[in-house]
Amino acid sequence: MALHTLLRSRLATAPARGFAVRALPPLGAPCLREQAKPVPEAMFGTPALDAIVADLVDTMRDANGAGIAGPQIGEGWRIFVVEGSGANPRYPYKPKLPLTVFVNPELEVVDEAPMEIFEGCLSIPGVRGRVARASKVRCAARRPDGSSFGVLAAGHAAGTLQHEQDHLDGILFPDIATPGGLVLADAFDEYHRDAFFAYAARLND
């Protein structure tokens, strides 16, 4: 059973809290700058945690995101989800990735060779920024049921994991963009899109 279907099934028996697309707090909201808290042991395997994860998934998909973290919906827990459809209109260059939920993730850089990625963010609509990211990372995390897993990610997947991990530490991509690297989305489309998409395709290769 797909994770999203499983979460919907579990939420059907959960009291009070519903399944919803959540509002995205705007840039300047304190929740985007706070250090997220580790999910406590007692929260694993509960309807409360499943509901937060389900809301993250639904909110990410509704906004055509490639990932989203707890603080982006006002939930100050160390949780993020990532997914690549392979045909995302916001990030058409990103490859297909299965929906994956990371609870209490710990990120380790495996290869520091930099990638120069033009990033966007659901919390900062209408802006792109050139950010240097490590080309390969390893992430150890837990699933909502408490089980542990790890992934080795390279290229765009590695960039997405680093972006979402930053959210858990109150860091937004403009904070680490290269000098002069911030552009409006319209300017990105007009002046930078073609060159970046060609570079992004090479990363995929």
Q: Under a CB-based contact definition with an 8 Å cutoff, are residues 119 and 173 in contact? A: yes
Question: Which amino acid, 28?
Answer: G
DSSP labels for the chain?
A: --HHHHHHHHHTT-SS----PPP-PPTT-GGGTSPPBPPPGGGTTSHHHHHHHHHHHHHHHHTT-SEEEGGGGT--BSEEEEEE-S--SS-TTSPPEEEEEEEEEEEEEEEEEEEEEEE--TTSTTEEEEEEEEEEEEEEEE-TTS-EEEEEEEHHHHHHHHHHHHHHTT--HHHHEEEEEEEEHHHIIIIIHHHHHHHHHHHH-
Alpha carbons 201 and 108: distance in angstroms, whole number: 25
**What is the C-alpha separation between 164 and 50, in angstroms, rounded?**
19
Known catalytic residue at 112? no
| Catalytic one of 83, 108, 164, 190 | 164
Q: Hey, how many other C-beta atoms are within 10 angstroms of the C-beta on 104? A: 18
As annotated, the active-site residues are: 164
